[in-house]
Amino acid sequence: MFKDIRYRWALIASLLIASAYLIWPTYKVYSLSESEKAELGVTVMKELKEGAINLGLDLQGGMYVLLETDIPKLVENIANKKTDELQKAIQEADQRSINNQTDFFVEFLTVANNRDLRLFRNYNNLATTRDNESVVQELKIQRDNAIASALEIIRNRIDEFGVSEPTIQKYGANRIIVELAGVQDSDRARNLIQRTASLEFTLVLNEQWEQTLNKLDTYLLSDTSALNIDFESPNKNEEFVEADTSGSAEDIFIEENILSEPTFDMSTPAKILKEKPFSGYLRAVPRGVGVLAKEYHIVKDLLENPEVRRKIPRGGKFLWANQFETAQDETGNFIEFRQLYYVSSDPEISGGMVREPRATMGGAGTDASGQWVVNLSMSPDGTKRWSRFTGANINRQVAIVLDDKVFMAPVIRDKIPTGQTQVTGFADVNEAKDIANVLRAGELPAPVEIIEERTVGPSLGSDSIKSGSKAMFFGLIAVMIFMIIYYKGAGLLATLALMLNLIMVMAVLAGLGATLTLPGIAGLILTIGMAVDANVIIFERIREELDLGKTVRAAIDSGYERAFITILDANVTTLIAAFVLAWVGSGPIQGFAVTLSTGIICSMFTAIFVTRTVFMFFSDRKPMESLSI
Amino acid sequence: MRILSKTSIDFISKQKITGFLSIALIIAGITSLIMKGGPLLSIDFTGGTVAQVKFEEPVELSQLRNTLSEFGFKGAEIVEFGSPDEVLIKTQFSGSSSEISEKLTLALGNTFTLRRVESVGPKIGKELQNDALKAIGLALLLILIYITFRFDRYYALGSVMALIHDVLITLGVFSLLDYEINLSIIAAFLTIVGYSLNDTIVVFDRIRENIPKFMKKTLNDVVNISLNETLNRTVITSLTTMMVVVILFLWGGKVINLFAFALIIGVFIGTYSSLFVASPVMVYFEKRSAGPYRK
């Protein structure tokens, strides 16, 4: 079908359109001014950003941290009977795994077997059979849980930084990559990552909403200084937030707010705030009380104001939910909000008392049959307190709080005398697993250390962008001029193909959601030099064929035909090198490999297919007698 | 326009001179590597911390060195980076950027901006080193397999010898000039491998095409004809690629300066090796075997 020139043009045109479509978000994101971005709104910008090429930390400035859990330490911590032999075995296994670059657990099993250790004696707290293999297997599961829990803790804390798109991902079996664009303060990052997690169960004080809110409103009406200060200079650095929320609060406030607001995400009217400067911001949401995402910072700042804090009754405190949610309000509009809780400031249970949280399916025949639940037990001390607490607070809510953020607030159904607790009400397995990981934060402090840290200042990043684009521009111009001088008309065609190639590479990168790094720009620049190679091979071949006395048409045909195999072979080998880099290499190297290989693949299309189509176009119209080459 | 009109250079007969040149270069590089105890590895591979610091005014390095060694940067390596007001400070300990920043403020006051801090733990350094070696080894192996499959093993031997030649010489040049090998230099090495191979394959492809055409000629002659026929392309592609890497070197910014430098060396050596190393080695092995073109 590609003999027919119309199909060829159609293919080229559709690829161009597809490229333009893919590049559009990137163009938008980087050409809009801040105010235009604000106008488009968070949701639209988020969508645009997802489709755009991201800038790597080396270009926009920021921090890259690689964390590792100290596995030997973790394995030692898990043991409920720590003997000298065990410690020696762990040390030896650690040493061997470093020397041989092998997995710690493989070495640990070997060492334990060599030393005739019976690991079960040290780990009879683990639910396994007695042989060493299964103990090690279970330890691996514990390792995975510890990492998952560490991830959850870091995710939960990361918004303290106010970074718009933090990357937190697991890397390998026991590492975590954290990338914070725009952050330079590594002490804060260290603190964020290495601070001990605090997990608490605390009573939700729904019945005290009214009283507390009245107090705050009255205070703010009498002394408006708090309001003014906080509106003007929202303190973005402060982290946590006391806020108020309640389950039975609908009747207390705001019914009228929602009714009077037909449009999505409308701010609270000034009229209401005049009467209720604090509680006016709160509104009923599906499981309690929430604050609109738009007004979150206002309320957060209010609650952090020392004067306001002093007015909160003793024994209570405001806590935010761990994340924003979206729901429909009564009028059917979607609102984005963050739930606020008002809880007891004296937590009943602390993390150390929670044991073995596990997400599982509810047992057959129970109420939770067929649903995902989280089971947990308590330490002896915790069991006693939990029993008393649950007995006294049946049908009230208890908040599960990690680092001062409420993850959920289940209702106590019954007195729990044994510590064996089941938490229900999860939508799916992931929700249940997340909560199990949160609960683990108290149980297993996985020692985490920073093993690699790279920080790039914003000035260096913008310098790099400037010099990178300058080099790219000059490179492009130089190659184009050279090609046009050397190959004349055909050279012009090659430069056209080159530009098309760059457009397609950008489109592919945007489509892949790739991140552009400085080495990535270098890869692009190198692509410019190498992409014309295919055309050079073809043109030289055509010249040779012309020298042999062939007609223009015949020379073009055999030139392309013969050159194709050469180009293919030559490019495949470069691609092999690039793929290996993308596979084995890390971070910036990968960026380089991705742009280079994309460039090579696209150049095969533009330099061969597109240029040939143009040649066909001209030679079809009238037989060419000479060729500008 | 043509840079070279029909040439008939006898590349193969030059192999004594070029072989000597190549071997001399490799030996010089290896000697330097041995004397310096291996390649100069960056903190990516050894672990440690490097900080890029920009001052408001040009600084005297020796003075800076003295000041810093009083403030706990003993043994730190301090070099100018691109311009006289910017320096790189390298230390063996791995610390956070805040730590470095604090210490520097203590020593120098507020006369500088911390532009970049990289800190790599010793364990991860060793791993990155392994990964890099693995990447190079794996790439060479896969390329060997591909060429064996597409051509034959003598071609594969020729091209891989040329690649090893290229990487050894580039490595040697880096060692002689006391330039550091970091992660991006490894990427440059692999690009050199890809580029040099690209060149070699184009020549090999022509040899393969020409062998049945010139059945009466010796292998030496066929190889020479092929090298000459493709010479124009070799030169022009090297030129365009050289243009962009030189531009990258000049204007691409300090951070990728060394990377661009490695590419310049690589493009040069890669072009040379596809003319004077790959084909002669292929001819040598082809003749030693009982292959059909043994003449």
pLDDT of residue A203: 93
**Residue B169 clears pLDDT 90, i.e. is over it:** yes
Q: B267 pLDDT band (50/70/90 cuts)?
A: very high
**B204 → chain A, closest CA residue:** A566
Contact by Cβ (8 Å): A503, A15: no
**Residue B14 clears pLDDT 70, i.e. is over it:** yes
Contact by Cβ (8 Å): A569, B205: yes
Query: Which has more confidence, A472 or A45?
Result: A472
CB interface of A with B, residues 77-136, below 8 Å:
98, 101
Question: Averaged over A552-562, what is the pLDDT?
Answer: 90
- Is A460 in Cβ contact with B115 (below 8 Å)? yes
Question: Averaged over A593-612, what is the pLDDT?
Answer: 89
Largest CA distance in chain B: 80
Q: A446 pLDDT band (50/70/90 cuts)?
A: low
| Lookup result for tokens 């990258």 | B248
Shortest distance, CA A553 to any CA of chain B (angstroms): 21
- Is B193 in Cβ contact with A577 (below 8 Å)? yes
Alpha helices in A444-551 (DSSP H): 458-512, 518-547
Q: How many CB atoms are located within 10 Å of the residue A622 CB?
A: 7
Q: Which two structure tokens, joined as six digits, stand for A577? A: 């090198």
**Residue A624 clears pLDDT 80, i.e. is over it:** no
Q: Which two structure tokens, joined as six digits, stand for A453? A: 């840290």
- Is B97 in Cβ contact with A453 (below 8 Å)? yes
The DSSP result for B67-105, as a single string, is HHHHTT-TT-EEEEESEEEEEEEEESS---HHHHHHHHH
| Lookup result for tokens 């692009």 | A524
CB proximity A173 to B under 8 Å:
no
User: What's the pLDDT tens digit per position in A205-245?
Assistant: 988 888 888 888 888 888 766 665 444 333 433 333 333 33
Question: Averaged over A514-537, what is the pLDDT?
Answer: 84
Q: A18 pLDDT band (50/70/90 cuts)?
A: very high
Percentage of chain B exceeding pLDDT 70: 96
User: What's the pLDDT tens digit per position in A151-182?
Assistant: 888 887 776 666 667 788 888 888 888 888 87
Distance of CA B46 to CAs A586, A587, B30, B40, B134, Å?
16, 18, 21, 10, 17
Phi and psi (nearest 5°) for A263? -95, 150
| Mean pLDDT computed over every residue of chain B | 85
Phi and psi (nearest 5°) for A623? -55, 125
Hey, is A414 helix, strand or coil? coil
Contact by Cβ (8 Å): B281, B155: no
- Is B135 in Cβ contact with A581 (below 8 Å)? yes
**Residue B207 clears pLDDT 50, i.e. is over it:** yes
**A525 → chain B, closest CA residue:** B244
pLDDT of residue A261: 39
Give CA–CA dist A510/A507, Å, rounded.
Answer: 5
Give CA–CA dist A281/B251, Å, rounded.
Answer: 54
CB interface of B with A, residues 251-270, below 8 Å:
251-253, 255-256, 259-260, 263
CB interface of A with B, residues 252-291, below 8 Å:
none
Q: Which of B54, B120, B201 sits opposite A570 (nearest CB)?
A: B201
Mutate which: B50, B190, B196, B208, vs A, most A CBs within 10 A: B190
| Stated pTM of the model | 0.76
Alpha helices in A101-185 (DSSP H): 104-114, 119-122, 132-158
Q: ipTM > 0.90?
A: no
CB proximity A44 to B under 8 Å:
no
First to last CA, chain B: 38
Mutate which: B86, B145, B229, B256, vs A, most A CBs within 10 A: B256
All domains in chain B, ordered by first residue: 12-41+124-288 (1.20.1640.10), 48-119 (3.30.70.3400)
Window from A259-273, B16-30, B129-143 with minimum mean pLDDT = A259-273
Question: Averaged over B141-159, what is the pLDDT?
Answer: 88
- Is A526 in Cβ contact with B187 (below 8 Å)? no
Q: Which two structure tokens, joined as six digits, stand for B61? A: 């390095």
Question: Averaged over A365-391, what is the pLDDT?
Answer: 87
- Is B190 in Cβ contact with A581 (below 8 Å)? yes
CB interface of B with A, residues 162-191, below 8 Å:
183-184, 186-187, 190-191
**Residue A71 clears pLDDT 80, i.e. is over it:** yes
Shortest distance, CA B264 to any CA of chain A (angstroms): 11
Give CA–CA dist B188/A442, Å, rounded.
Answer: 47
Phi and psi (nearest 5°) for B58? -55, 145
pLDDT of residue A160: 66
- Is B194 in Cβ contact with A578 (below 8 Å)? yes
Mutate which: B198, B227, B234, B264, vs A, most A CBs within 10 A: B198
pLDDT of residue B242: 92
| Mean pLDDT computed over every residue of chain A | 82
**Residue A255 clears pLDDT 50, i.e. is over it:** no
Residue A629 DSSP one-character state: -
Mutate which: B244, B249, B264, B268, vs A, most A CBs within 10 A: B244
Window from A31-40, A99-108, B214-223, B250-259 with minimum mean pLDDT = A31-40
Question: Averaged over B41-64, what is the pLDDT?
Answer: 85
Nearest to B159 by CA among B176, B172, B141: B141
Q: Which of B116, B139, B244 sits opposite A529 (nearest CB)?
A: B244
A contacts of B237 (beta carbons < 8 Å): 530, 532-533, 536-537
pLDDT of residue B291: 56
| Lookup result for tokens 């390998």 | A172
A contacts of B142 (beta carbons < 8 Å): 576, 580
Question: Averaged over B121-125, what is the pLDDT?
Answer: 81
pLDDT of residue A225: 66
**B50 → chain A, closest CA residue:** A454
Q: Which two structure tokens, joined as six digits, stand for B96? A: 């956070």
Give CA–CA dist B70/A179, Å, rounded.
Answer: 34
The DSSP result for A55-121, as a single string, is EPHHHH-EEEEEEEE-HHHHHHHH-SS--HHHHHHHHHHHHHHHHHT--HHHHHHHHHHHTT--HHH
Q: A458 pLDDT band (50/70/90 cuts)?
A: confident
Mutate which: B112, B248, B249, B268, vs A, most A CBs within 10 A: B248
- Is B191 in Cβ contact with A577 (below 8 Å)? yes
pLDDT of residue B295: 43
Question: Averaged over A481-505, what is the pLDDT?
Answer: 92
A contacts of B127 (beta carbons < 8 Å): 101
All domains in chain A, ordered by first residue: 5-56+457-621 (1.20.1640.10), 202-430 (no CATH)
- Is B139 in Cβ contact with A577 (below 8 Å)? yes
A340, β-bridge pairs: A289, A320
B contacts of A452 (beta carbons < 8 Å): 119-121, 124
**B120 → chain A, closest CA residue:** A452
A contacts of B260 (beta carbons < 8 Å): 522
Question: Averaged over A179-198, what is the pLDDT?
Answer: 75
Q: Which residues lie closer than 8 Å to A627 by C-beta, 6 or more apart?
A: A489, A490, A542, A546, A552, A555, A556
Give CA–CA dist B261/B185, Å, rounded.
Answer: 9
Residue A410 DSSP one-character state: P
